[in-house]
Amino acid sequence: MIVLAAPGQGSQTPGFLTPWIDDPDSGDEARALLAQLSEASGVDLVAHGTVSDAETIRDTAIAQPLIVAAGLLTARALFQRVSADTVGAVAGHSVGELTAAALAGVISEGDAVSLVTVRAKGMAAAAAETPTGMSAVLGADEAELLAKLDELGLEPANFNGGGQIVVAGALEALAKLADEPPARARVIPLQVAGAFHTRYMGSAIPALREAAAAVQVSDPATPIFTNHDGSRVASGREYLDLLVSQVASPVRWDKTMESFLAAGVTGQIELAPAGALTGLAKRGMKGVPSVAIKTPDDLQAAVDLLQGAAS
């Protein structure tokens, strides 16, 4: 089983869509798709994916639609080369769950981009209410770290597996954690705008829930796994409901990878802007090959992995 994985916020870098738009074989089609998704999102995805600087695309209201659009663009390019039926399952990390929902046929591409726009605006507004941030903690004993978070009023936001947990909350508390980390742990501040996947994002949920209730939803045509607890979800509406509520609850990518392994995963393909989930797979799914599609040059490796699994 090959899993198609869609990354979350923080994976974008300046100019990362330029190779797709400049590609001599499919650049015109890529630009046309981005123009269509720009209209649905109200965000100039071509400009932000090619010429905008790091600070601009760090803005949650820009970053999230950009990441979802990039994943959809990458998947289209991949499925022009190999049948989508060769993919065994899909999953997304955080905002990547909307990309995964579209790829599994739960919602349309247009609705994925419309919903991510509501999500992004709501989370950006929630982040502006109180100065908060996030830090990655590497190598800590989980129980010791969770006890420390309770003491400081911080929350776990992403359980990423392989000894990495992203924590979030007040900036002062994050600074104290960095000064007094758990034994053998490293604390790395992340360049994000707020405490995502924590109680601080609660105000973003109502508008997203209302928008999600208005879109047409189908049960997944391709197996899809949720970040809520790593389980496979058979109901499209349930998947979307979990996606909405998780704006203010932790991402359990560790459990998602455990479910991949239990289901017999033989490879992972990460969609653009790729890299983060491939790194996590190396630690959390040791021995399982993973391909990160960053540019069109990486598509053949993904095709080879899919065709090898199908043969």
Supply the residues annotated as catalytic: 94, 197
Cα separation, 171 vs 193, whole angstroms: 11
Cα–Cα separations (whole angstroms), residue 198 to 95, 167, 181, 248, 284: 14, 9, 20, 4, 23
Is residue 303 helix, strand or coil?
helix
φ/ψ region of 198 (left if φ > 0, alpha if ψ in -120 to 50, else beta) reads beta
The answer to whether 187 and 164 are in contact (CB under 8 A) is no
Q: What is the DSSP string of 13-55?
A: -TTTTHHHHH-TTTHHHHHHHHHHHHHHHTS-HHHHHHT--HH
Identify the H or E element spanning 164.
strand 164-170
Is residue 69 helix, strand or coil?
helix
Find the largest Cα–Cα distance for the chain. Answer: 55
Cα separation, 9 vs 99, whole angstroms: 12
Q: Taking the mean position of all CA atoms in its chain, how far away is CA 205?
A: 18
Amino acid letter at 254? D
Four-CA torsion 295, 297, 302, 308, nearest 10 degrees? 180
B/e letters for 26-45, b = 16+ CB within 10 Å, e = fewer, are beebbbebbeebbebbebbb
- Any idea what DSSP says for residue 232? B
